[in-house]
Amino acid sequence: MKGYDFFRPMTELDLDWVLSIEQQAYDFPWSRRGFEQALDDGLAYVFCDAQQHKLGYACFLTVLDEVHLLNFCVAPKCQRQGIGRVALQALQKHFCAANYQIMLLEVRVSNAAIGLYESLGFVQNGIRPNYYAAWDYQDGELVKVREDALLMSCALKTD
């Protein structure tokens, strides 16, 4: 995809924008503290176009040779344009080059991004019951419920 300059490290200067996008994209957004922790861990990135306009972000945690995708978001106005695919492919290559072996994630079972993840080599490994907070209409009222998480992984290297 031309015109994109994926990706750069997230900084504190990005946090207001990231929090705004997080609140637009999710019913149960991360807190500022969650993103500050990701910055402290040094594994938070922003996706930008060639003019350095922010398009989305990702936060990771690493353990040994595993990299865990904790938060991956394309700004709602930029979704359905292939940005998520290009960004995640670039991040997979980045972590592969850094000798990580596997990328892991949890995703809501209702999330349309499951198809994207599968198309990029992720496989389903299991279910984490009642992992996410969610909203549901019950008897005409909006109530807080729980939603399962799908556990997925993708090999970054083959032996």
**Residues labelled catalytic:** 106, 117
Write the DSSP symbol of residue 23. H
Bridge partners, residue 74, by sequence = 56
How far apart, in whole angstroms, are the C-alpha atoms of residue 17 and residue 15? 5
Q: Is 72 exposed, middle or buried (0-12, 13-18, 19+ CB in 10 A)?
A: buried
Bridge partners, residue 132, by sequence = 147
Cα atoms in the 13 Å half-sphere on the side-chain side of 124: 12
Which segments of the chain are extended strands (E)?
8-9, 44-48, 54-63, 66-74, 102-108, 123-138, 141-155
